[in-house]
Structure 1
């Protein structure tokens, strides 16, 4: 199957090209089937894509009522007295998705799923981990996966069965993900599958965040102190992400240049989790990257190596495109009813 690398001028063109990939896939499938399962990511890179997608739903080009979504990840340990408060916290990924996509669509997407990290009580999790029974931390870097043994009982057993395995089983029951939108972190990580976590750790990961991640969250003013910042997260592992029938990765800015080229031209290694995409393509998967020219800079310099791998670079930089400033973020439906 193909691996296409689309190169665009900037964030606006990247968003439009990426949205076109999603819309084309959805249009083709919904012409033949009743439903579409869409995988989603958080972060800055896909936000423009989501605005274009909301516009397509609101204009009637796509039917949101036939779509089910599954997100990549969610924090564990957000401030709040109960799961509802945690899910509504402004730094939760549930809140992010409502703001950036779900709340913009008319009609609404009938079923959206974000990993169930807000159900976990961080204090109970810490107590179970301190007891030291039934789990181990795995990984070669600062972010580690908490691997819960098959015979673990109590709170850890509940997390394994209901939160981790339960989410993976729900994806499978929906028929799997038709297209998964992902981004990439500064060290090549996908969601919270951090650098150094083995690919076979678990389909769904419980990840202990490293101390620098906590400090950065406070420095960036996401949380007022490390004490109230989440210390854990729930995330799809790269292996589960790449079970999707199509994967679309979007990335912009110079911070992504190194991870992108390592993922495309380097070894397949847990040190760069996005590199699993090479195995996915070799096994018949359909992978698309949409990059702005800064994220693509080193790939463009090494275009001969990319071609030698059999991967296709498609350059859109000379084409006209729509400014995000002109995208109607919340289109009124055609009957004039506002939501």
Structure 2
């Protein structure tokens, strides 16, 4: 693991965008695994600006999003489909057929999950996977448990995740209780992983990720087993690191 501690969220976002853009410059047809939420938002803003300046071209890039809330309409302002188009895809030159987001409003979800994994494999696997981290150490929506699913799957969201995500919804009752998430196998098979964290509320999760024991109770700790992980955190998120 390579750990970069930067001053603040702005610097974290800029560094993350530089890492992603470098991947695309080196391999224009890169397969990117993408995350949502407040943490990568600044990274997407930087990448959009880079594209507008002509310094990064997304025309051959393929993307796979980590997750999506179950049965939330695509047009809902808190769906990850809406998030990605509103904050990123609508502002760059990516081909629509190269965008993949878990279709969490379909029937026969078991087959939906299997097809998503097959699409990842057909694309050649993920070159660079971008991750955020939950306060409980989840990545994607792979929640702490005594065991973890390997493939894309339906997950019951943990109490801590529902609480953390409630700030995006009018009421806590409006937060979906389930989601579809890429599994740990697809994440760990990525050639490179970029983990981002900002804010003191993520400090304990980051500490357990990089220096704690490897356990499914802290899913991010499994990243210690990967050969190419870069972690970029601001000073607040690094507070618990000895």
Q: 2:35 aligns with which of 31, 35, 41?
A: 41
CA distance in 2 between partners of 1:167 and 1:109 (Å): 18
Match of 2:240 among 275, 288, 298: 298
Distance in 2 (CA, whole Å) between partners of 1:217 and 1:289 is 23
C-alpha contact (below 8 Å) 2:24/2:57 kept by paired residues: no
> How far off is 1:159 after superposition?
1.9
Cα distance in 2 for partners of 1:205, 1:244 equals 18
Cα distance in 1 between the residues matched to 2:184 and 2:55: 31
Alpha-carbon displacement from aligned partner over 1:177-196 (angstroms, at most 9, x marks no partner)? 11011000001100210111
Report what 1:327 is aligned to. Answer: none
Unaligned segments of structure 1, at least 5 residues? 79-85, 121-157, 303-339
State TM-score, norm by structure 2: 0.93
Question: In 2, Cα distance between the equivalents of 1:222 and 1:260?
Answer: 26
Moved more, 53-62 or 173-182: 53-62
Instruction: Tell me by how many angstroms 1:63 deviates.
Output: 1.5
**1:214 shift after superposition:** 4.9
CA shift in 2, pair 1:216/1:289, >3 Å: closer
Q: Which residue of 1 aligns with 2:206?
A: 260
Q: Which residue in 1 is equivalent to 2:48?
A: 54
What is the RMSD computed on CA atoms of the aligned residues?
1.8
2:22 corresponds to which residue? Answer: 24
The gaps in structure 2 that reach 5 residues or longer are none
> In structure 2, what is the Cα distance between the partners aligned to 1:8 and 1:168?
34
How far, CA to CA, are the matches of 1:55 and 1:216 in structure 2? 29
Q: Deviations over 1:53-99 (max 9, x none)?
A: 11222222221111111000001132xxxxxxx11111100001112
Q: Which has the larger radius of gyration?
A: 1
> Whole-Å Cα distance in 1 between the matches of residues 161 and 64 of structure 2?
24
Deviation at 1:51?
1.0
Q: Is the 8 A contact 2:23 2:30 kept in 1?
A: no
Size of the aligned set, in residue pairs, is: 241
For residues 211 and 255 of structure 1, do their structure 2 counterparts lie closer, same or farther at Cα, with a shift above 3 Å needed? closer
Return structure 1 stretches of 4+ with deviation > 3 angstroms. Answer: 210-218
